[in-house]
Chain A
Amino acid sequence: NAGVMQNPRHLVRRRGQEARLRCSPMKGHSHVYWYRQLPEEGLKFMVYLQKENIIDESGMPKERFSAEFPKEGPSILRIQQVVRGDSAAYFCASSPPASLGTSMKKLFFGSGTQLSVL
């Protein structure tokens, strides 16, 4: 049973390009969370999605960032017109469609995508 799969593992972009980060949750998981980790810092919540719905995007920057979790396929975090300050590790986590208490225990993280903006 594969864990949370993120790709690519490393992504290099020039300023102004677009970055697309993919996350396939664990089998049977329908909740996806994206977090960002800046150098020397802890993880910061960005967005929480269920299939075809954004539940909480309170941590997403207002511009250039978007996320989706379509009915079929992986969740995508998209960053348009990247800037150097977007360089960070982006982690995806997933949890099963259980009650809040249970799903909080079973939050599994992927290995992350390291985005470097030149």
Chain B
Amino acid sequence: AQKITQTQPGMFVQEKEAVTLDCTYDTSDPSYGLFWYKQPSSGEMIFLIYQGSYDQQNATEGRYSLNFQKARKSANLVISASQLGDSAMYFCATGGATNKLIFGTGTLLAVQP
């Protein structure tokens, strides 16, 4: 079975500072992927970043980076230089051999000016 745990229901960050959103996972699949999605108040799901379980390097996409620690089963999202437009819900998810995503409960990020 697969499970995603996001322990931070809400986070505050000052504009231009970096923030880390926590995610731990549990899976029995030997090969799996880890995803982060952003859901602004408008409701759509926006893909941010992907990390494969066998990728040697941590994934980066612009201001987003994924701090992947396989032994600890963690896949934290780091957002650098926060912007007001980053205020949204952030969901961590995992997918494996079943080819479907399991999502966490999300973290609500509020960027303060």
Contact = CB atoms under 8 A, between A and B. Distances in A.
CB-based closest 6 A-B pairs: A42-B103, A109-B45, A111-B44, A45-B100, A43-B103, A104-B33
A91 to B, nearest CB: 6
Interface in A60-103: 89, 91, 93, 100-101, 103
B62 interface: no
Nearest to B42: A111
Interface string A48-63: 1000000110010000
Interface of B: 4, 31, 33, 35, 37, 42-47, 50, 52, 91, 93, 95, 97-106
Given A101-B52, A104-B50, 19 more contacts: A33-B100, A35-B103, A41-B105, A42-B91, A42-B93, A42-B103, A42-B106, A43-B103, A45-B102, A48-B100, A56-B98, A93-B45, A100-B97, A101-B31, A104-B99, A105-B50, A110-B44, A112-B44, A114-B43
Contact of B101 (A31, A43, A101, A114): A43
Interface string A15-58: 00000000000000001010100000111110010000001100
A107 B43 contact: no
* Chain A contact surface mostly: strand
A64 to B, nearest CB: 21
A111 B100 contact: no
